[in-house]
Amino acid sequence: MDRDITFLGHVIRVDSGVVEVEVTDSLPSSAPIINGRLYKIGQIGTFVKMPIGNINIYGIVSSVSNSPSRDEENHVKQLVGSRFLSVQLIGEKIGDDDFEKGIGTYPTINDEVHIVVEKDLFDIYGQKKSGSIEIGKHSSSENLGVNVDLHNLILRHSAVVGSTGSGKSNTIVSVLKPILNDYDGSRVVLVDPHGEYASAFPDAKVFKINDLANPLVIPFWLMNFDELAFFLVGANPEDDQRVEYRMFRELVQNYKKENCELKSGQVNKNFVTADSPIPFNIRKLWHEMNWWLNASFSESVKDKQTKTTAKVKCIGNFEDLIGSSFEPYAMGQEAPYKSKHMDYYSYEKKLLARLKDSRYDFLFNPRDYKDETSLKDLHNLLNGWIGGKEKLTILDLSGVPFEILDITVGLITRFIYDSMFWGRDEEYTGKKRPLLLAYEEAHVYLNKNENNSYSKRAVEKIFKEGRKFGVGAMIISQRPSEISETILAQVGTFLALRLTNSSDQSIVKSSAPDNLNSLMDLLSSLRIGEAVVVGESIKIPSRIRIKLNNPRPSSEDPKLVEAWSKDHTENEDNYKKVVTNIREQKFKGK
């Protein structure tokens, strides 16, 4: 007599997608035990069922009250319990068919309403389909795995959002693990600004700045000219009219044109511009600027001050950033004459300062990718990041100075996207082997208020067009309200953990593809590791519990109480190393 035990009440109002249910007085308890399991009546976010012939209509409880919603006169608090439930209809199951989202047949007044027991939940969620992964268990049943469709999760893009400490990083592990375990050909690149994921994925390939085995390098020559000019000498495209800007562009272009014989193949010189990702030696370029500024000549007229009329004493060494030396120019009207090529005056100083700053070495001194004579070329870089047998690559950006995090993420994204775009028909990449790019701490560099963000532009492109070339993206953030609206609008699946800030809640509510406000209202009251999952990759918007993974991402806090309880030794020499680190911008550790 399951039917009687599960009987909950009757429909008393039907209002498009929402029905109101009056709970029967004869319910033995507000928490009946059915088949050995305790069910709590009137829990927001739980399912109810309305059987009509061979059709079962399912809905989610969205509000509970002790008076009918429109019965203004009787709106007196009676404290008799939850008598009226507002239920948002979500879908139906006809006979033995699978559960379908959307409603074809509506309930009518007096139709019976039943508690959904575990068996119904299994009916709704169905068997695990191939091409899906389990990301957690249903909050109402620890036996019921909740699966998401992998294709839609990846290629329709996704977002994992939640306040700090709500369990986002752990969720990422729960999502990636089944992908990496079950799909041998999967490919994921995780952009990890705090370097917290390597501990959770011992098998992943991790690239990290200054790491001895796997250093992360991003050759500066991947930048287009405007980016290069901005990051090397602080110039903007508006400086286009300035002579030094135009000369600099020409110089870069010439250096690139000279280097068209590359390890990955020859490039037609006619197609090369100052924007082409072609290696050249930036130190040599500095050396040349420095040469023209400091040279002395046997001629006084600018046009005749050339390489052949220069009075060179020692050529210096560009690799070590040592400029050439020249015969000192005479003070009067006689040779040697002072150089009249002073256009690069400010650029040369700025460039030298940049090249000496070791924080930028991963860009401007990129080891094996330094210039055209280097051992490696971009195909090696790509192979390292997205080729090989490891399915997950973690790009640990914890050593990237904050002010260039944006361009760094921008370059990584653009390079990977370009490789998928131009490789879209190759056997080993593009559409034939899609790729997921996951961005942790996305609000930091994908901020909607940042107009000149390199990373935002590149990531937005993936959200808009990546699917066609096999690139999916996932953003992870504690401040979804700060993220670019273009990105949020293209998110197909939201995994929303506890969100306490009201502007964050409302942005998730309004961006979520399913209009299920009742579940979204739960966002502030979710427990750690509990999430609401809505969108294209899940059949029914669901509240799920995510298991705590081991090994975990490392996001350790300092042990404050322990540290403050200790007596620390005082020494005159304390802080010497710290100061040297600040000066050299190099972290030497212990």
Binding site for ligand ATP (CB under 6 A): 162, 164-170, 478, 528-529, 546-548, 555
- The DSSP secondary-structure symbol of 215 reads B
Closer by beta carbon to ligand ATP, 170 or else 294: 170
- The DSSP secondary-structure symbol of 519 reads H
Six-digit token string for 276: 């082409």
Closer by beta carbon to Mg ion, 341 or else 552: 552
Partner whose footprint covers residue 529, from Mg ion, ligand ATP, none (CB < 5 to 8 Å by kind): ligand ATP
Partner whose footprint covers residue 528, from ligand ATP, Mg ion, none (CB < 5 to 8 Å by kind): ligand ATP
Closer by beta carbon to ligand ATP, 75 or else 547: 547
Partner whose footprint covers residue 165, from Mg ion, ligand ATP, none (CB < 5 to 8 Å by kind): ligand ATP
Site size for Mg ion (CB under 5 A): 2
Closer by beta carbon to ligand ATP, 45 or else 167: 167
Shortest Cβ 169–Mg ion spacing (Å): 3
DSSP string of 353-376, one letter each residue: HHHH-GGGHHHHS-GGGSSTTSS-
- Among the residue ranges 84-92, 162-170, 238-246, 524-532, the one whose residues contact Mg ion (CB under 5 A): 162-170
Which one among 140, 152, 169, 290 touches Mg ion, defined by CB under 5 A?
Answer: 169
Rounded to whole angstroms, the Cα distance separating 27 from 21 reads 14
Closer by beta carbon to ligand ATP, 48 or else 526: 526
Residue 80 makes CB contacts below 8 A (sequence gap 6+) with 66
Q: Find residue 89's DSSP bridge partners.
A: 59
Closer by beta carbon to Mg ion, 169 or else 542: 169
Please give the C-alpha separations between residue 555 and each of 122, 190, 250, 288, in angstroms, as whole numbers.
36, 16, 46, 46
Shortest Cβ 516–ligand ATP spacing (Å): 22
Partner whose footprint covers residue 166, from ligand ATP, Mg ion, none (CB < 5 to 8 Å by kind): ligand ATP
Does residue number 477 form part of the binding site for Mg ion (CB under 5 A)? no
Closer by beta carbon to Mg ion, 222 or else 438: 438
Residues composing the chain: 590
Rounded to whole angstroms, the Cα distance separating 466 from 458 reads 10
Exposure on the CB side of residue 374, measured as CA atoms within 13 A:
20
Start-end of H helices in 85-186: 118-125, 150-155, 168-182
Partner whose footprint covers residue 375, from ligand ATP, Mg ion, none (CB < 5 to 8 Å by kind): none
Rounded to whole angstroms, the Cα distance separating 204 from 197 reads 9
Question: What ranges make up the beta strands (E) of 66-194?
Answer: 84-94, 100-101, 112-115, 132-138, 141-149, 158-161, 188-192
- Among the residue ranges 45-53, 163-171, 185-193, 387-395, the one whose residues contact Mg ion (CB under 5 A): 163-171
> CB atoms < 10 A from the CB of 301, how many?
10
Closest by Cα among 80, 87, 112, 99 to 10 = 112
Shortest Cβ 553–ligand ATP spacing (Å): 6
**By Cβ distance, which residue is nearest to ligand ATP?**
529
* Binding residues vs Mg ion (CB under 5 A): 168-169
